[in-house]
Amino acid sequence: MSAPSVAAIEQFAGKGAARTAARKRNRDYGSGSERRPRWLTYTLLTVALIISFYPLYYAFLLASSTADDIARHPIPSLIPGSHLFDNIKKVFDADIGFWHAVENSVIVAVVTSVSVVLFSTLAGFAFAKLRFKGRGPLLVFVIATTAVPTQLGVIPLFMVMKQLGWVGQLQAVIVPGLVTAFGVFWMTQYLESALPYELIEAARVDGASMFRTFWSIALPAARPAATMLGLFTFVTSWTNFFWPFIILSGDNVTLPVALMRLQATFFKDMSLIMAGVVLSVIPLLVLFVIAGRQLVAGIMQGAVKG
Amino acid sequence: MTSTGTPQLAGPTSDDERVRQQRRVGFSQRLGRWDVKVSPYLYISPFFILFIVVGLFPLLYTGYVSFHKWDLLTGKGDSVGFENFDWVLHSDMFWKSVRNTFSIFLLSSVPQVIIALVLAAILDANLRAKTFWRMGVLVPYVVAPVAVSLIFGQLFADQSGTINAILAKVGIDPILWHSHVLPSHIAIATMVNFRWTGYNTLIFLAAMQAIPRDLYEAALIDGAKRVRQFFSITIPMLRPTMIFIVVTSTIGGLQIFDEPRMFDQAGRGGADQQYLTVTNLIYQLGWTNRNFGRASAVAWILFLMILVISLINYLLSRRISSDETAGAKKRKKVRA
């Protein structure tokens, strides 16, 4: 026989009884319930966390040891060695322009993020709030392009860059990423719900031009979503390898390509390579500590909508 | 009189000036209408212009290049018809790269979806320090694939690698992670899983939290325990999300490049092409061998493969979702 519903209990036996019944029941199905999970849950999560962190800590351990240590102890001791700064210095002194690569990565990531946010918000504002012919089909087109493997067009893209004389130049990496379909779609979705028509109308009645309306009404309203989009773009740009690897060369590269050069130069000394890895990861880890919350929220919101 | 900014000495406005003002109003009105009409197109144009120049055109032009002899340095040569495709389809390397790509893709997507589902189910509890755990599983996402490959390349090193050392301790012979086919695929798939499992976990978690709680309540009344609830409610309700993840990971996974490129310092996919992927092959043909024609042929074949698989995905997911609604209707009928 099945038990009466919580609502029924409330009706017959009062609120207190209903609450107790609900709590009792929640013990049997955990999701979203009031009850706190038991130690098994936390143990499993701790294991997941160790798997998440250990490879990074491992890189740090190797980066603070020497090639000899690594050869002698394939399983590194959990206490770091004392050679981290030596190794870092060697990476910067090596003839691969590591510092220049750091600068390049910062430039590319910052410019790309700002530009993607600006152009995506502009397009999102138009798609979400302005009326124009062909709006629906054009938006469908934008969404469809997110599924197009544009990476497969690298060969003609390389030829285009060669025509422009941009091979080996930073703008060859920056320009193709100035605005993305995902960004446009993301901002359209957000502005549809976050920006009331009344605000736009009020601005228009006050005589603001379209661009003025965008700049002082839509852009501020878009801030939460724009921050997330900027963060994701930054991470994507910082970790991007394929295209920079093809188009950049010599000393004028971004960090992932510099790591590849580091590997090619020092493949016999893992401690130096790992020092480079640690250096390349630290900036994003700092960003993650500051803004990881927003990254989590961004993924979860995108998932609900997408 | 409308103010024009400068003080006017003349008393009554002359006819001449009135006409001029009217014309100005007319002009600004027209400007305003023009603003309303043209602005939307202006605002969406950066995306479309950029997409056409760096996305659509290159993709289509790849097809054109694939029908020619085309050198990286000297440029376009004779039109050769299907010769490049013929060469590619008869090349051992190409078929190896197709095998490797699909094998790595399966080894990375299937375990990833399963682990992400389980992790999401664990995270979907009333945890203490929720955000801490969620952020914890997402950490690997901010590590560049290149860095991930360098780290795992050492963990999976054939000699003096950490995993082989651990295996030796429990009495298992060392595995040649780099030189054998399947082990190298497992190693590379592990890198992909490391970086993306947490990300997909959060997507699943969000979808799980959107499942109406009264479904679980109803199941409970019917006497279903947690495991049964997971398989009979959570999994079916997550179907759209699963389709979404499968589709996006297919498009991305079949283009995998970074991890196999960085798995050893030579970056040629191993001595026997045991982990050469299709995108690695495109790079090798195009930039190492300077043969843009053949590289383009491979790119087009991969493009068509992705297209076909996406289409199958789409049809399958449509069928699944229509089955679902049919099932729901049947269920409703039974209940009524």
For CA atoms B109, B115, B117, B119, give the dihedral sign.
negative
**Which has the higher per-residue pLDDT, B266 or A173?**
A173
Q: Which residue in chain A has the smallest CA separation from B37?
A: A132
Q: Is B220 close to A56, i.e. CB distance below 8 A? A: no
Q: How far is A211 from chain B (nearest CA, A)?
A: 8
Question: Best interface-test mutation with A: which of B139, B164, B196, B251 has the largest number of A CBs within 10 A?
Answer: B139
Where residue B243 falls among pLDDT bands split at 50, 70, 90?
Answer: confident
Q: How far is B161 from chain A (nearest CA, A)?
A: 6
Q: Which of B116, B160, B113 is nearest to B138 (CA)?
A: B116
Which domains does chain A show, CATH number per domain? 1-36 (no CATH), 93-305 (1.10.3720.10)
Q: How far is B13 from chain A (nearest CA, A)?
A: 26
Q: Which residue in chain A has the smallest CA separation from B302?
A: A152
| Confidence (pLDDT) at B79 | 93
| Confidence (pLDDT) at B19 | 56
**Whole-model pTM above 0.90?**
no
Q: Which of B76, B77, B94 is nearest to B85 (CA)?
A: B94
Where residue B3 falls among pLDDT bands split at 50, 70, 90?
Answer: very low
Q: Which residue in chain B has the smallest CA separation from A173?
A: B54
Q: Is B139 close to A176, i.e. CB distance below 8 A? A: no
Rounded CA-CA distance A187/B201 in Å is: 23
Q: Decide if A220 touches B, using CB distance below 8 A.
A: no
| Confidence (pLDDT) at B281 | 97
- Give pairs for B4-9: CB < 8 Å, separation 24+: none
SS (H, E, C) A104-123: HHHHHHHHHHHHHHHHHHHH
Q: Is B151 close to A58, i.e. CB distance below 8 A? A: yes
Q: How far is B41 from chain A (nearest CA, A)?
A: 8
Cβ distance A101 to A257 under 8 Å?
Answer: yes
Q: Is A295 close to B138, i.e. CB distance below 8 A? A: yes
Is residue B87 packed enough to be buried (19+ CB in 10 Å), middle (13-18) or exposed (0-12)? Answer: middle
**Which has the higher per-residue pLDDT, A11 or B1?**
A11
| Confidence (pLDDT) at A115 | 97
Q: How far is B251 from chain A (nearest CA, A)?
A: 7
Amino acid at A119: F
DSSP B257: -
| Confidence (pLDDT) at A306 | 35
The mean predicted confidence, pLDDT, of chain B is 87
Q: How many angstroms separate the Cα of B301 from the Cα of each of A227, B71, B93, B315?
A: 38, 19, 14, 21
Q: Is A241 close to B241, i.e. CB distance below 8 A? A: no
Residues of B in contact with A179 (CB under 8 A): 46-47, 50
Check whether B10 has a pLDDT greater than 80: no
| Confidence (pLDDT) at A241 | 96
Q: How far is B116 from chain A (nearest CA, A)?
A: 11
The SS3 of residue A76 is coil
Say how many C-beta atoms besides its own lie within 10 A of residue A21's C-beta.
18
pLDDT in tens, chain A (306 residues): 344 555 555 555 555 555 565 555 554 444 444 567 788 899 999 999 999 999 999 999 999 999 998 989 889 989 999 999 999 999 999 888 899 999 999 999 999 999 999 999 999 999 999 999 999 999 999 998 988 888 899 999 999 999 999 999 999 999 999 999 999 999 999 999 999 999 999 998 888 889 999 999 999 999 999 999 999 999 999 999 999 999 999 889 999 999 999 999 888 899 999 999 999 999 999 999 999 999 999 999 875 443
Q: Which residue in chain B has the smallest CA separation from A26?
A: B217
Question: Best interface-test mutation with A: which of B66, B150, B277 has the largest number of A CBs within 10 A?
Answer: B150
Q: Which residue in chain B has the smallest CA separation from A55?
A: B151
For CA atoms B287, B105, B53, A184, give the dihedral sign.
negative
Residues of A in contact with B157 (CB under 8 A): 74
What ipTM score was computed for the predicted complex, to two decimals?
0.86
Q: Where are the domains of chain B?
A: 83-324
Q: What's the token pair of residue A30?
A: 């955990």
Q: Is A55 close to B140, i.e. CB distance below 8 A? A: yes
Instruction: Write the pLDDT tens digit of every residue in B286-336.
Output: 999 999 999 999 999 999 999 999 888 878 877 766 665 555 555 444 443
Question: Best interface-test mutation with A: which of B43, B197, B234, B285 has the largest number of A CBs within 10 A?
Answer: B43
Residues of B in contact with A25 (CB under 8 A): 217, 220
Q: Decide if A126 touches B, using CB distance below 8 A.
A: yes
Q: Which CATH number fits domain B83-324: 3.40.800.10, 3.30.70.20, 1.10.3720.10, 3.40.35.10?
A: 1.10.3720.10
Q: Say which of A239, A242, A303 has its CB closest to residue B203.
A: A303
Check whether B114 has a pLDDT greater than 80: yes
Instruction: Write the pLDDT tens digit of every residue in B179-227.
Output: 999 999 999 999 999 999 999 999 999 999 999 988 988 998 888 888 8
| Confidence (pLDDT) at A14 | 58
Rounded CA-CA distance A193/A202 in Å is: 18
Q: Is B58 close to A154, i.e. CB distance below 8 A? A: yes
| Confidence (pLDDT) at B26 | 66
Check whether B91 has a pLDDT greater than 70: yes
| Confidence (pLDDT) at B23 | 55
Q: Which positions ≥6 away from A303 have C-beta within 8 Å?
A: B202, B203, B204, B206, B207, B241, B244
Q: Which residue in chain B has the smallest CA separation from A176?
A: B54
Q: Is A260 close to B43, i.e. CB distance below 8 A? A: no
Percent of chain B with pLDDT over 90: 62
Q: Is A41 close to B125, i.e. CB distance below 8 A? A: yes
Q: Is B151 close to A37, i.e. CB distance below 8 A? A: no
Q: Decide if A249 touches B, using CB distance below 8 A.
A: no
Q: Say which of B133, B199, B208 has its CB closest to residue A31.
A: B208
Where residue B125 falls among pLDDT bands split at 50, 70, 90?
Answer: confident
Q: Is A28 close to B244, i.e. CB distance below 8 A? A: no
Residues of A in contact with B203 (CB under 8 A): 299-300, 302-303
Residues of B in contact with A159 (CB under 8 A): 61
Q: How far is A124 from chain B (nearest CA, A)?
A: 8
